[in-house]
Chain A
């Protein structure tokens, strides 16, 4: 019933298919996200801009945009890699959150990251309840430590500090910077993945698990943190185990070896 009244505005450096489906598309100059959002904050807080345009967008357009934002009943900002991985990085997120806070003085507004890979939210959530931190958790001291840039896997690889790697349902070889993925190849690599990927192609050992949601039960977290139950529809091919079972057996073996080592 609300759908007809909803409006979608896309801000991007180029016109995407999402932009085609939106009510309005605003093209921002590459690398100018931070400026754009600071300008929006000024306008949301009833300030005035002394320039004709910001980030390649006329100020009148921004004023219209802010009018739409403050006059809606409930708004939401979705952001993706374009904001997190471009110039400014976490500062872009900082200002996006500040903009959301400012908007809440005028109306109700939310902000949510668009996640990339399947169930990446689930990984973050479980890490957080078990260790307090969402990713890049270093347990080598006997307690969880978190310092992205130091303890994140891409940085550990870049500094070539690890001498083995276990990859679960991920494809770092394809996605990490070259300086990091180069070092993946130097050391033993084990991959738990049902698909053929650049990472499995480099792997010394591949353990293909059953597909969760097809061949095994499980839970995945949606990007808004809602857990979804996943059903098993068919039996996996013979000998294929679920991720959980593979990890359980590895853990069991590790404990056996540790016990032997201490005796």
Chain B
């Protein structure tokens, strides 16, 4: 029985409405408890900030596509190496770090959970092998189901219950956590080099529309009682004028909303908040998106902040990546996975001196600051698409300090500066709000009940930052350093990082959703035949076997069908 007490810190625990109160946190056997014995090990957090461990709802850290990105970019690794220590293994960065490095770098920032949002079902095994090699954090993966043939057929034929039972089977087969939808219908079209351009375009071969796919899977999600909502990467991502598509996607599930519970998460909203007819006239759609968000509660967002750095873009959105390749002339990998999904990888450098990139940087900040309710919006970079995840500390200072924003604002492209709404926004997030957008809100949106808070019974995943709460906004440079190098990171009740150094290597769990349906998933000869005709792995060998994951943590869910 190991006991720990974190003493005298300023605690920010928004899910329990604790706002900077000086208090002690007690830990026993990896969980937060009311009291511990006097013999408990003491962590002195006097003058420091104590928060739940960081939670990342969307970060590409593992799987076929990420690994192809690593393969594509030796020049990215050579400039940023991670030397082995007595407790850690060596590896490389920069924008697509090796798995061990990924775990250590998250942990050093006080993060304890990260969700891998893009998994081709056929490559679920590969993804889970990588996640098992990613230490320090708990994780999960979302299978790409927005262009999954069986699901599209069910939607076409109006078989919603059958669709739900099938998706439940798929989540189990891939050990997945949530329904990920990327450019619905567009990936199917990309199989033959085409795309769809609005949520009402017809998807080739199926005769349905992206709207029907989004709505169909949204209903399935509700029926299955999944902990997270559908996780949507919209159509027309990265195209000027696409804020309209984002708004239409939000509107198309308005009538499916359930009281105050969200039914849709739109990811990296910055990439779909572009106004203007072309790149030359690009401006911000942040106000329109924020207005909608401030008047509706059925959607949550993560921002996909752009950071000025050299990075690697990678999405399952094959046609978008192809466009990006044409735009940049950079090297490009197309990564189709049989009938299931597409994908693309293009190295990319966001420059302050580019009007477009600077506008993207501004849009992301505007949305974060204009959406009034922090529970509706989360900090991400869509790692590595907007920038590497270890830019988070810098982004946090932009949120909490106008001075930090202004400092960079003065250096960006003149046209972007002129169009930016940032000059009219004085809002600075409090540390309480920062804890929401970086952990509490993310855990809530994910339905991870034991994460993102410090109440009794929660997982003892905790970050301690050496920050004086009153001076954080003013002394943003030292705040940034403190966020980069947590004074302590505690994972499942053990000190794993001290003063920014990994002192113990642990391996987190891999969550997946084990849905129990009363209606059995029908395995008919037709399904088996389709697997035989159109897949290269047979139905019987498709699901991941028991025992394949190193540390599986199934979450049992009882479905409404």
Contact = CB atoms under 8 A, between A and B. Distances in A.
Contact of B77 (A73, A132, A141): A132
Nearest to B69: A128
A90 to B, nearest CB: 13
A229 interface: yes
Interface in A133-147: 133-134, 139, 141-144, 146
Contacts of A71: none
B443 to A, nearest CB: 27
Nearest to A227: B125
B545 A229 contact: yes
A227 B193 CA distance: 26
Interface stretch (B29-37, B84-92, B224-232, B240-248): B84-92
Given A130-B91, A130-B99, A130-B100, A101 B123 contact: no
Most chain A beta-carbon contacts within 10 A, residue among B62, B71, B74, B545: B71
Contacts of A32: none
- Size range of the interface on B? 35 or more
Nearest to B93: A132
Interface string B205-245: 00000000000000000000000000000000000000000
A162 B392 CA distance: 43
B365 to A, nearest CB: 31
A131 B98 contact: yes
A131 B449 CA distance: 34
Contacts of B97: 132
Nearest to A73: B192
Contact of A132 (B91, B129, B191, B334): B91
A134 B67 CA distance: 10
B67 A125 contact: yes
A134 B82 contact: no
A226 B99 CA distance: 19
A253 interface: no
B70 interface: yes
Contacts of A228: 537, 541
B257 interface: no
Contacts of B536: 222, 224, 226
**How would you classify the secondary structure of chain B's contact residues: helix, strand, loop or mixed?**
mixed
A124 B71 CA distance: 9
Contacts of B129: 126, 129, 219, 227
Contacts of A225: 64, 67-68, 123, 126
B125 A229 contact: yes
Given A143-B81, A143-B83, A229-B125, A74 B98 contact: no
B176 to A, nearest CB: 16
Nearest to A106: B193
Interface string B533-549: 10011000100010010
Given A101-B332, A104-B334, A143-B84, A227 B67 contact: no
Contacts of A73: 192-193
Contacts of A146: 74, 77-78
Contacts of B126: 125, 221, 225-227
A227 B129 CA distance: 10
A142 B84 contact: yes
Nearest to B85: A142
17 contacts: A74-B191, A74-B192, A104-B322, A107-B193, A128-B70, A128-B71, A129-B130, A129-B133, A130-B99, A132-B91, A132-B98, A146-B74, A219-B125, A225-B126, A226-B537, A227-B129, A229-B548
Interface of B: 62, 64, 66-68, 70-71, 74, 77-78, 81-84, 89-92, 96-100, 122-123, 125-126, 129-130, 133, 191-193, 322, 325, 332, 334, 336-337, 533, 536-537, 541, 545, 548
Given A130-B133, A131-B90, A132-B91, 9 more contacts: A104-B193, A108-B192, A108-B193, A110-B336, A130-B89, A132-B70, A143-B83, A227-B125, A227-B126
